[in-house]
Amino acid sequence: MIVPRPDFVSTDLGRLHVRRSGTGPPVVLWHSLFVDSQSWGPLVDELARDRTVYAIDGPSHGKSESVLRDFTFDEVVTAAEQALDRLGLVEPVDWVGNAWGGHVGIRLATGSRLRTLTTIGTPVQGFNVRERVTKGWPLVAMYRLMGGSGLVGKLLAESLIGVDSIAAQPEQAETTMAAFRNADRNGMYHAMRSMMLHRAGVASLLPSITVPTLVMSVRDDAVGWQPDEARQTCAAIPNCQVEQVEGGGHVAPLLVDRERVLRLLTDFWARTDHDHAAK
């Protein structure tokens, strides 16, 4: 097992925790909302055989500093850019974002910081009024009252991972959801309000993405992002391929379809290397 080296980098949204491991070309991992960098599981070690992996805990998540106010996606993108700078990653990097991390990556990919972009389970539409009323606000209100344990944690786990995936990988599911249960409640509350309830759509940004992009849709994602929507997303990006992975929620492929995720990533990067060499 490759032992990760922890780092903390200062940003305008507080100190972000980064697990660094391996050697080789850099790949940056940014996790889904609610969980942390532990959600990548063994994929970190597998990537670190050939890559330097930087697994970042987003603001108010994992070991990163809590932000005790609402904040915007623009602020998160600025914090991500500051983290890259302070890690010495001045050349474009391969970015892999799961759900929330995909939204951050899409915004970064319209600039010059990325070499490639991969999104896993990242719908491009914003939260509509019905979703805010029926899903978002009740979850935020329940979390504020009860925290991340008990019913709230169970409901969220079933949404993020899915019942079948939890049954298939109970230990990793437990490790993944521990980040939500153990989070600073005030910090997580503001992150949920900011990044979920106030999430804007990013469809208008897709034609401006300047790097090769891999979009992974999750077959039975509970949030309802269907394969045809993933194909439409990819069609709007100048250089994009779309693939489907297994799971019952947008974090689930990291538990139950990790080998395919790894293969898709390494093949995608190899093709990008070949295309760059051919130019």
Q: How many CB atoms lie within 10 A of CB 85?
A: 13
Split at pLDDT 50, 70, 90, the class of 2 is low
pLDDT in the model for residue 160: 94
pLDDT in the model for residue 129: 73
Cα–Cα distance, 268 to 204 (Å, whole number): 24
Domain containing 265 equals 5-278
Which CATH number fits the domain that encloses residue 91? 3.40.50.1820
More confident residue, 78 or 6: 78
pLDDT in the model for residue 137: 87
User: How is residue 167 written in tokens?
Assistant: 């049954």
Is 252:161 a contact under the CB 8 Å cutoff?
yes
Is 124:201 a contact under the CB 8 Å cutoff?
yes
Kindly list the distances between the CA atom of residue 279 and the CA atoms of 25, 160, 275, in Å, as whole numbers in the listed order.
20, 41, 7
List, for residues 136-182, the tens digit of each pLDDT value: 889 999 999 999 989 999 999 999 999 999 999 999 999 999 999 99
Stretch 204-215: mean pLDDT: 97
User: How is residue 256 written in tokens?
Assistant: 């139950």
- Half-sphere CA count of 173, side-chain side, radius 13 A: 24
Cα–Cα distance, 32 to 192 (Å, whole number): 11
- When divided into structural domains, the chain yields a total of 1
Could you give the angle at which helices 170-181 and 150-160 cross, rounded to 10 degrees?
Answer: 130
Cα–Cα distance, 229 to 213 (Å, whole number): 16
Split at pLDDT 50, 70, 90, the class of 77 is very high
List, for residues 227-241, the tens digit of each pLDDT value: 888 999 999 999 999
List, for residues 94-103, the tens digit of each pLDDT value: 999 999 999 9
Split at pLDDT 50, 70, 90, the class of 274 is confident
Phi, psi (5° rounding) for residue 186? -65, -45
pTM for this entry = 0.95
The closest alpha carbon to 36, from 8, 60, 5, belongs to: 60
User: How is residue 147 written in tokens?
Assistant: 């925290």
Parallel/antiparallel/unpaired status of strands 5-11 and 14-21: antiparallel
pLDDT in the model for residue 5: 61
Phi, psi (5° rounding) for residue 199? -70, 120
pLDDT in the model for residue 222: 67
The closest alpha carbon to 183, from 39, 6, 43, belongs to: 39
Q: What is the DSSP letter of 229?
A: H
